[in-house]
Copies of this chain bind each other. A is one copy, B any other.
């Protein structure tokens, strides 16, 4: 292999990603400049936030420009190096993008972190990557659940949601998931130990939440927004907290949609709804990684990864996030 294939953003999606959104180019494998290393990418992380990154609007990161490599987390190993911290063979995770070889460090502008030899590259993208760390800070710092409280998480079978619910169980909460299939619900209850799970396609979610949460909802970890957020607003207890982690139900909208009808409950029930982005917690990633590793080592955290094979499958695989096709963290294996 002497060729580096890259997938560029060719066109902004109207709704779901389509083939026309991307262009594949082939280039020679880059040589590392001074202070740089070249990484052969082995895994790509596919995340709902990526849909936001291709919108041409102000957000917490600049939008991916047309003609740029599609932005994405990734993990791989160094194949050529002029970087003091990343020798050949070293494991690397970072914003490697949709390409088979990525340049990190030096003037590349790509931040990357070493992955120790004892850690699986795939775990560096899931449990120890933005997925696990998002769940960790979202639950503990933003949601602040207490033992005995009722914790509800939507997107419960997704990468972040499945970890978030398990962390809330460790805290001592009653944990109720919301997911889109019976299979997903069974998984989070039977395998992850959630106390209950609501199939949101099977009936009225607000009613199901009332049934599943007889003492109301103290923390709602929201990955989806829209109607399910509205259902949660109806079942929140006084002084409840809504962790605004994501609103995937809205990401493919080409026009704005009306918001939840029960906003006045924020006042009358004194709710706190708080958004966060995991990169705000960059300085505390080590704390999260330590704790997540200890919990995983104790068998208290199950980290499931949904692996799709083949670099060129990334543009279609990403839509699994939006049509509910993945269980656990979605990753492409190159």
Residues of A within 8 A of B (CB): 52, 59-60, 225, 229-230, 238, 244-247, 250-251, 256-277, 280
- Write out the residue numbers on chain B whose beta carbons fall within 8 Å of the beta carbon of A250: 263-264
**Known contacts A272-B274, A273-B272, A273-B273: A257-B266 contact under CB 8 Å:** no
Pair A52/B263 contact, Cβ less than 8 Å: no
- Report the bound CA distance from A266 to B241 in whole Å: 14
- Write out the residue numbers on chain B whose beta carbons fall within 8 Å of the beta carbon of A270: 60, 274-277, 280
- Write out the residue numbers on chain B whose beta carbons fall within 8 Å of the beta carbon of A261: 256-259
A256, A263, A276, most chain B CB atoms within 10 A? A263
**Known contacts A268-B277, A270-B275, A273-B273: A263-B59 contact under CB 8 Å:** no
- Write out the residue numbers on chain B whose beta carbons fall within 8 Å of the beta carbon of A258: 258-259, 261
Out of B225, B256, B271, name the residue touching A275 (CB < 8 Å): B271
- Report the bound CA distance from A263 to B273 in whole Å: 11
- Report the bound CA distance from A247 to B247 in whole Å: 23
**Known contacts A60-B238, A238-B60, A258-B258: A269-B263 contact under CB 8 Å:** no
- Write out the residue numbers on chain B whose beta carbons fall within 8 Å of the beta carbon of A263: 225, 229, 247, 250, 259-260
- Write out the residue numbers on chain B whose beta carbons fall within 8 Å of the beta carbon of A266: 244, 273-275
Chain B residue with the shortest CB-CB distance to A267? B275
A52, A59, A257, A275, most chain B CB atoms within 10 A? A275
Give the distance to chain B from A235, nearest Cβ to Cβ, in Å: 11
Pair B238/A267 contact, Cβ less than 8 Å: no
Out of B247, B269, B272, name the residue touching A272 (CB < 8 Å): B272
Give the distance to chain B from A48, nearest Cβ to Cβ, in Å: 10
- Report the bound CA distance from A246 to B280 in whole Å: 30
- Report the bound CA distance from A270 to B260 in whole Å: 18
- Report the bound CA distance from A257 to B275 in whole Å: 23
A250, A268, A274, most chain B CB atoms within 10 A? A268
Chain B residue with the shortest CB-CB distance to A243? B267
Chain B residue with the shortest CB-CB distance to A245? B267
